[in-house]
Amino acid sequence: MHIHIATVGGGTQNVITGFNAVSSIDMLYLIYSRDRKHSAEGLKKKFNDMGIVCHITEVSGFVFQEVVDAIYAIYGENVNGKNLRYTMNITGGTNLMAAAACSTAFFIKAEIYYVMYDREKEVQDPIEERVVRIPTPKIPNVNGLGAFTREVLECILDNDGPDLTSAKVTEEFGYTRMAMAHHIKLLKNEGIITVDKWQKNNRLSHIMLTQEGRMVAGWIKNFNRTDKKIQKAREERKNKANGFQN
């Protein structure tokens, strides 16, 4: 499934141009600032009339976290889908919306596009010349991490320091060392953490976030807050710890 996300500003043509330039879109999400509701609703009607499933989400155009949360919510709604492809048009909206969308796009593996517009030209260049794909840096494959592995990563971020060991992470969740070793290995293989012998006790393994891992972990922590599976699992563990069973 191909999911396309676009930020919406006062002008709507850039959204339409970006949509037309990216082929085979199955579902469209429009993120608009509160003063652009009319534009977003007009676009939604236009795309729905074309037979395209279109959703709109309102955010503050000047609150970075709201834009990030909106995109992660979209990702969370579709996380169980198969063969997902994300593309994102960051042309519309405020500069802050574009920055937040661009940053978040890295972590959901979205292809980023920008639509060029020359105000001095009465006739714009062809679409293929105006729609620019923005290269994104290589980052760990966070899409491949399951819900529990992302929880483990959040735990590592919260307890990051010279005394963090695999035993401490295991204790946090009440799992066996063998069960936890699988998730730690996944994070290590993605280059998110390093695992070495702990200097204070060679029988224990010291866990440390890599530079890339530290950046990814912060974004994963934000995403975890919108993941219903993670919230349900946390509630179940809490109830079990308190002596209750669902």
Predicted pLDDT at 199 = 87
**One domain, residues 80 and 34:** yes
Q: Looking at the structure, do residues 130 and 148 belong to the same domain, yes or no?
A: no
CATH number at residue 25: 3.40.50.10770
Q: Judge if 185 and 63 occupy the same domain.
A: no
What CA–CA distance (Å, rounded) separates 139 from 181? Answer: 23
Same domain? 21 vs 121: yes
Domain end position, chosen among 102, 137, 172 = 137
Q: Are 22 and 98 within one domain?
A: yes
The CA distance from 156 to 217, in Å, is: 8
| pLDDT tens digits for range 209-246 | 998 888 788 878 877 777 777 888 878 877 776 765 44
**Structure pTM?**
0.65
Domain range spanning residue 8? 2-137
The set of residues, in sequence order, having a beta carbon less than 8 Å from that of 61 and lying 6+ positions away, is: 33, 34, 35, 36, 93, 94, 96, 97
Cα–Cα dist 62/203, whole Å: 50
Among the candidates 107, 137, 167, a domain finishes at 137
Are 10 and 124 within one domain? yes
Indicate whether 72 and 175 sit together in one domain: no
In terms of domains, do 147 and 126 share one?
A: no
Q: 146 is written with which tokens? A: 């399951």
Please give the pLDDT value at position 140: 72
SS3 134: strand
pLDDT in tens, 169-223: 999 888 888 889 999 999 999 889 999 999 888 888 999 999 888 878 887 887 7
What's the number of domains the chain is made of?
2
The reported pLDDT for the residue numbered 1 is 93
Q: Are residues 216 and 109 in the same domain?
A: no
Question: 22 lies in a domain?
Answer: yes
To the nearest 10 degrees (0 to 180), the angle between helices 64-78 and 95-107 is 40
Contacts of 209 (CB under 8 A, 6+ apart): 156, 157, 160, 192, 193, 217
pLDDT of residue 6: 97
| Amino acid letter for position 218 | G
Q: State the Cα–Cα distance between residues 225 and 128, nearest whole angstrom.
A: 38
Q: Based on the domain organization, do 10 and 96 belong to the same domain?
A: yes
Nearest to 153 by CA among 139, 137, 142: 142
Residue 83, Ramachandran bin (φ over 0: left; ψ between -120 and 50: alpha; else beta): left
Using CA atoms, how far residue 175 sits from 86, 90, 160, 172, 192, in Å, is 34, 42, 19, 8, 21
Read off the CATH number of the domain in which 156 is found.
Answer: 1.10.10.10
Torsion angle of C-alpha atoms 25, 145, 57, 119, degrees rounded to 10:
-60
Domain check: are 207 and 110 in the same one?
no
Average pLDDT, the chain: 88
* Average pLDDT of span 119-131: 79
Query: Please, are residues 69 and 103 in contact by the beta-carbon 8 Å criterion?
Result: no
**Within this chain, do residues 105 and 70 fall inside the same structural domain, yes or no?**
yes
Q: Can you give the pLDDT at residue 90?
A: 96
Domain final residue pick, 121, 137, 153: 137
Residue 24 sits at the vertex; the CA angle it makes with 18 and 25, to the nearest 5 degrees, is 60
